[in-house]
Homo-oligomer: A and B are copies of this chain.
Amino acid sequence: MPPSAVSQPEQFTIGRLAKAAEVNIDTVRFYERQGLLQIAPRSAGGYRLYGAADAQRMQFIRRAKTLGFSLEDIAELLQLTEDGHDRSRVKAIAQKRVADLEERIRELEKMRSVLAHHAGHCSGHGAVKGCPIIQALLSEQG
């Protein structure tokens, strides 16, 4: 019962790490294989042992994923935080991702507008023959 332990290593096994990060336990092992997580030290019984830094790393991955980064990009971003790299590469990756997102958004908006237009012409009842949606797919027409 020491009143203040300046830095207790506070270790935990894979299950707790997974639960804290709200991912499947196999996802953690998968990330290790993919090089996103460092190889964890093991307990006497062979269990992986993690610490606060690993939990933060999992959060990093989680946030990067919500921004749509691929695991490959995330691995590189994590790498860049390790060594004494320059910010330029980080910004380049982010800008590439923004550009990709914008392109994809334009594609989806194009799909949406075309399809909504056709759907707007469809009464929703009667025989399929003559349905404007089907007509549009059968021959290039608006």
Hey, which bits of chain A sit against chain B, CB under 8 A? 56, 59-60, 63-64, 66-68, 77, 80-81, 84-88, 90-91, 94-95, 97-98, 101-102, 104-105, 108-109, 111-112, 114-116, 118-119, 122-128, 131, 133-134, 136-140
Chain B residue nearest to A140 (CB atoms) is: B63
Distance between A8 CB and nearest chain B CB, rounded to angstroms:
21
Question: Once the chains bind, are A90 and B136 in contact (CB under 8 Å)?
Answer: no
Judged by DSSP, the binding face of A is: helix
Distance between A29 CB and nearest chain B CB, rounded to angstroms:
22
Question: Once the chains bind, are A94 and B122 in contact (CB under 8 Å)?
Answer: yes
Question: Once the chains bind, are B105 and A109 in contact (CB under 8 Å)?
Answer: yes
Distance between A122 CB and nearest chain B CB, rounded to angstroms:
5
Chain B residue nearest to A136 (CB atoms) is: B63
